[in-house]
Amino acid sequence: MFRFALNNVLTRKLRSIFALVGLAIAVTGIIALISVSAGLRASVDMSLAMIDGLVVIRRDSVDPILSKIPASLESQIESIPGVRVAVPEIWELAPSVEGKNTLLEGMFTALAVFGVDPTKCARLKGGGLYGRHLKEGKFIEPGDEGQQVVVICTDVAEKYGKRIGDEISIAKHRFRIKGLYDTGVFFLNAALVMPIDVARKKQLFPPDVVSNFFVEVETPSQIPAVESAIEALSPDIDAKNTTEWSEEFRGIALNLDAFLVAIASIGILVGTIGILNTMLMSVMERVSEIGILKANGWRKGDILKLILFESLFLGLLGGLVGALFGWISAWVAGFFLPMEPVVHWWLIALSVLLASALGIAGGLYPAWYAAKLSPIEAIRFE
């Protein structure tokens, strides 16, 4: 039965190819899109793992760039037991770098001005996130107040052909490059780090507010108590640890995956209809053949199995081809994206199983139609 069904599929090569192409494209899309989404989640998780403190931000803000909270909270936060240091920070999108609007070049090329307090930053363990990942030169330090110095990512330096000591134009202002860092995560490598007073002046940032505070606690066990104490200071602020940031992003990522699957489902529907059409046409062309088989003792169940096996082969082949091209597409996408897509083995297996099931679904009606044919009428069918 398997050989007979497979032979029927292979003898109608062109029609079979057209049927499985639609399903293969849909499977390719699912694997490629979800793999890119998985890579994005992995990059976010990696970046959050590097943040070992609390971020105090305006309530309901999803990003420091969209947040503004009173700068006067600094002394109140540092008076809370367990707080080691509270570093005021400001974040603003860089209007231009070397005369180019980085945001217009692509969503992954945008850069942000990141202003930090040099004195407070020096009190952080290892100099903070960017201080710990410094590759060359020096980080922002006490005495840099009022100085137009900046620490940039190694990728940005390479892009614009800059080295330590060179000048770089940010929002039409010239800054001397003091250091180069590399966190290994594209989310975090977008910061142009400079003294907070200089960032305020050049970005016209209000003097009485900050984007957020980075709070370093004495011991990790004190984080829950410090978090509650900070949130009690004002109903308009929120203190978030890495777990909370991760949960929020995971929720966003799940919604993104659902949206991507919904888009790919359109292709899956088209592919299933293609298999239905192919199998129905195949049955109509073979009515006399089916009648001869039934006249020679084939039962309805045998005819059902034959047609369903043929549609299963189409679905399985479409799933395998789609899985292969999906993996290749994700691999190729890695060359053009700042993060590496993650292709899970279970996604490959699930996609092939789904395509096989849809192949069977597309063959149900043709199989039922073929099985109910009367042998005499089928043989006389023209």
- pLDDT tens digits, residue range 106-122? 666 789 999 999 999 88
Residues in the chain, how many? 382
pTM: 0.75
- Predicted pLDDT of residue 250: 67
Average pLDDT over residues 276-286: 72
- Predicted pLDDT of residue 105: 66
- Predicted pLDDT of residue 85: 92
Q: Which residues of 242-273 are buried (b: 16+ CB within 10 A; e: fewer)?
A: beebbeebeeeeeebbeebeeebeebbeebbe
50 by DSSP, 3-state: which?
coil
Q: What are phi and psi of 81, to 5 degrees?
A: -55, 135
Find all residues with CB under 8 Å of 33, minimum gap 6, and list them.
260, 263, 264
Q: What share of the chain is helix, strand, coil (3-state, %, to 5)?
A: 60, 15, 25
Task: Decide if pLDDT at 315 tops 90.
Answer: no
* Position 276 confidence tier, pLDDT thresholds 50, 70, 90: confident
Cα angle: 132, vertex 137, 143; to 5 degrees? 85
- Summary mean pLDDT of the chain: 83
Measured distance CA(55)–CA(187) in Å, rounded: 16
Q: Beta strands 54-58 and 237-240: pairing type?
A: antiparallel
Measured distance CA(84)–CA(71) in Å, rounded: 18
Task: Decide if pLDDT at 381 tops 60.
Answer: no
Q: Comparing 53-62, 133-142, 165-174, 259-268, which segment has the lowest mean pLDDT?
A: 259-268
